[in-house]
Structure 1
Amino acid sequence: MAQPDSEAADVPLYLRVAAALREDLAQRRVPPGSRLPSERSLSQRYHVNRQTVRSALQLLRDERLVVTDRRGTFAAVPEVEPEPTVPALTARRPTFPGGPRAAEALVRASLLWEAPPIPLAPRLLLTPGEPTLVHRHTVLGPQGAALQRAVTWFSRPALAEIPQLSRYRRGRDCRQQPDLRLLYHWMHQAGLRITHRESVRVPPAPVATAAGGTARLSVHRVVTDQHGHALEITDIDFSAQSASWTYEFSA
């Protein structure tokens, strides 16, 4: 494990080990169902003692990312959950619309660098016209119509504090179909205490640019850190007749 910089020095060792293993799991460097290296191997790899490794693995077990039995510790096999048949609004933590789901052919996502709308720049701690990392996510219906669109602008603090985002340097490393579904986990592991603020509205109808039709529901999401700095601003627009929006929450 690389030597910590000054900003990461206060992060407990077991959290840094858990973060490295979580990244391996997310990137499928350890495929679902595969066995993780032994505690001894992990302690040697990350230059920590075995108790630190055990604490990191316990955290991943609590997150249901790994399972342990008498044979060892294995990457969890994701459960396939049925898609809801009706729109659902429940009091749960919002998930980031970050990657392909069950029907990958119906999802399009991309990362690029561009300047946000001028009114958003100060909120993102950017100068007017300054590019930032932008994520676009579209869910398509069987006939190719856009059922849901989401666009997210990341702030200067987000790119500085979240290693998984900072690797997407301007002009390189941006790619199609990026999977950012673990974004909020990345924020937590970076030591950020985040607050979500959602504004939901039904825009005046009909609008020619409505996603999937004239019946729309729009969501404006602002995620801030413990200092009140915006980390990301997301606008979600979807057809209220044919798509659903689900909150996920853990206390």
Structure 2
Amino acid sequence: MPSPSRGGGPAAMPKYQRIAAALRRDLDRAAHTPGGRLPSERSLAARYQVNRQTIRAALQYLREDGLVVTGRRGSRPAVTAEVVPTAADPVAFGPASPAPGPARSWVTVVTVPPSLAVPLGMSGGDRTLVHHHRQEGRAGETLRHAVTYFSPGVVARTPELAVCRSRAGHSRGEDLAALQCWLERAAAAGRVAETITMTRTIHPPAGVPASAPACGLTVRRTVHAPSGLLVAVTDLAFPTWDHLTFHRDRRHPAIAGFRVL
């Protein structure tokens, strides 16, 4: 692989990784364009003012994540967007009120629950990057709380995630835009599965207020790369939900979504 730097001290990130991060944006555009492909190695080398070996290293880096395939006609996204009628976004959830309160995002580095350690490729006691996103109502109540656990291997190979891990505890919400964009791209390019769990409480345990919800609602979302690698697991909780709407179009099985209000 190319040297991280040509002089002074070591660079914070190898050059080929920085180029790979930039190429992810090109991949996102190409995936939504019929026949879309990346520019040639020669064009990319000229754009980033590096040799073609560095470009090849960046493309190989993307191939290892299952984002790129290369053939005789050049490199293209591993998965392209299918042109089908739009429907409710399966990864978007409506707020519980027309005027929701503020949203907060932050990251931590913690030990994940044992049930997630093996799927994420972790051993007991390992720590990884965790992203929190909380949406509040006008009265300060929590409408939705999403907790996303990232595979440590993916974090190490992804510049946007590695930077967030190094700044855990010091990042503000606006500093996490790159992480959120990466997760959206990973979901669009890979495979997303969502499991809805509704828990009905007939006889509340002692000490639980009578006003507590009689039916809890949680959603677990898993995101796999095109290669099949599990890259992230998100657990969503909706403490104040009122109703759930699920949509499916038999003519377009790929389109399915649900909305929580």
Q: Compared with structure 1, are the counterparts of its residues 43 and 103 closer, same or farther at alpha carbon in structure 2 (3 Å cutoff)?
A: farther
> Does the aligned pair in 1 maintain the 2:109–2:129 contact within 8 Å?
yes
Q: Compared with structure 1, are the counterparts of its residues 246 and 130 closer, same or farther at alpha carbon in structure 2 (3 Å cutoff)?
A: farther
Give the superposed CA RMSD.
Answer: 4.5
| In 2, Cα distance between equivalents of 1:17 and 1:155 | 21
Q: Compared with structure 1, are the counterparts of its residues 103 and 176 closer, same or farther at alpha carbon in structure 2 (3 Å cutoff)?
A: farther
> Does the aligned pair in 2 maintain the 1:17–1:46 contact within 8 Å?
no
> Does the aligned pair in 2 maintain the 1:147–1:243 contact within 8 Å?
no
Residue 89 (structure 2) aligns with? 92
| In 2, Cα distance between equivalents of 1:17 and 1:232 | 20
Equivalenced residues, count: 175
> Does the aligned pair in 2 maintain the 1:162–1:187 contact within 8 Å?
no
The one-letter code sitting in structure 1 at the alignment partner of 2:228 is G
> Does the aligned pair in 2 maintain the 1:167–1:173 contact within 8 Å?
no
The one-letter code sitting in structure 2 at the alignment partner of 1:146 is T
Aligned ranges 1:74-223 → 2 under 5 Å: 92-94=89-91, 106-170=102-166, 172=168, 174-177=170-173, 178-179=176-177, 180-187=179-186, 193-205=189-201, 213-223=213-223
| In 2, Cα distance between equivalents of 1:173 and 1:237 | 22
The one-letter code sitting in structure 1 at the alignment partner of 2:49 is H
Which protein is richer in helix relative to its size?
A: 2
TM-score (ref. length: structure 2): 0.52
Partner of residue 46 from structure 1, selected from 32, 45, 48: 48
Following TM superposition, by how much is the alpha carbon of 1:14 offset from its aligned partner in structure 2, in angstroms?
A: 8.7
Residue 16 (structure 2) aligns with? 4
| In 2, Cα distance between equivalents of 1:175 and 1:246 | 36
Following TM superposition, by how much is the alpha carbon of 1:134 offset from its aligned partner in structure 2, in angstroms?
A: 0.6
| In 2, Cα distance between equivalents of 1:234 and 1:195 | 14
Q: Compared with structure 1, are the counterparts of its residues 214 and 195 closer, same or farther at alpha carbon in structure 2 (3 Å cutoff)?
A: same
The one-letter code sitting in structure 1 at the alignment partner of 2:221 is R
- Please list every run of 5 or more consecutive structure 1 residues that lacks an aligned counterpart in the other structure: 20-41, 49-89, 97-101
Q: Give deviations 1:3-62, integer Å, cap 9, x for gaps.
A: 425xx99x7x9936747xxxxxxxxxxxxxxxxxxxxxx9976339xxxxxxxxxxxxxx
* SS of equivalent residue, structure 1 residue 203: strand
Rg larger for: 2
| In 1, Cα distance between equivalents of 2:224 and 2:135 | 26
Following TM superposition, by how much is the alpha carbon of 1:108 offset from its aligned partner in structure 2, in angstroms?
A: 1.8
| In 2, Cα distance between equivalents of 1:4 and 1:146 | 41
TM-score (ref. length: structure 1): 0.53
Q: Compared with structure 1, are the counterparts of its residues 116 and 134 closer, same or farther at alpha carbon in structure 2 (3 Å cutoff)?
A: same
Q: Compared with structure 1, are the counterparts of its residues 158 and 103 closer, same or farther at alpha carbon in structure 2 (3 Å cutoff)?
A: farther
